[in-house]
Amino acid sequence: MNIFVANLNFKVQEEDLRETFETYGEVDSARIITDRNTGRSKGFGFVEMPNSDDASRAIEELNDREMEGRNLVVKVAEERTEQRRFTNRRPQY
DNA sequence: CCTGAGCGT
């Protein structure tokens, strides 16, 4: 199950996110979205949990929960538009 | 070092 998590403190990293969600069950992957150009955190990310039951509990429990001084926003993620592949050439603007 | 709506290379 794909989980969207936002309102993250910028200093929170993927492993912190993973640990937080592992409290409620197995975490397949945790990803923090970082700015392509600066590499800094965008303040939100995605967590994939194999067990949808654990995922639902995690969403209920972690949504609006405080983490590093910020209140987390945890929702079920929308389907990703399309599986895009790496493109070495990016229009820099 | 710094910021704060939203859905990913």
What CATH number does the domain located at A2-76 have? 3.30.70.330
Residue identified by tokens 């969600």 is: A21
Q: Please check the confidence at residue A92 and state whether its pLDDT lies above 70.
A: no
| Covered bases, chain B (protein CB within 7 Å) | 2-9
**Nucleotide nearest A45, from its CA to each C1':** B8
Q: Which residues touch strand B (CB under 7 A)?
A: A 2, 4, 6-10, 29, 31, 33-34, 36, 40-44, 46, 48, 70, 73, 75-78, 80-81, 83-87, 90
* Span A87-93, average pLDDT: 50
Exposure string of A11-41, with b = 16+ CB inside 10 Å and e = fewer, is: ebeeebbbebbeebbebeebebebeeeeeeb
Tell me what pLDDT residue A93 has. 46
- pLDDT tens for residues A10-38? 999 999 999 999 999 999 999 999 988 88
**If you measure CA to C1', which residue is closest to nucleotide B6?**
A6
Compute φ and ψ for A62, nearest 5 degrees.
-90, -20
Pick from A71, A75, A87: nearest CA to A46: A75
Alpha carbons A74 and A61: distance in angstroms, whole number = 9
What pTM does this model have? 0.87
Pick from A49, A67, A69: nearest CA to A58: A49
Tell me what pLDDT residue A79 has. 84
Residues written for chain A: 93
- pLDDT tens for residues A46-70? 999 999 999 999 999 999 999 999 9
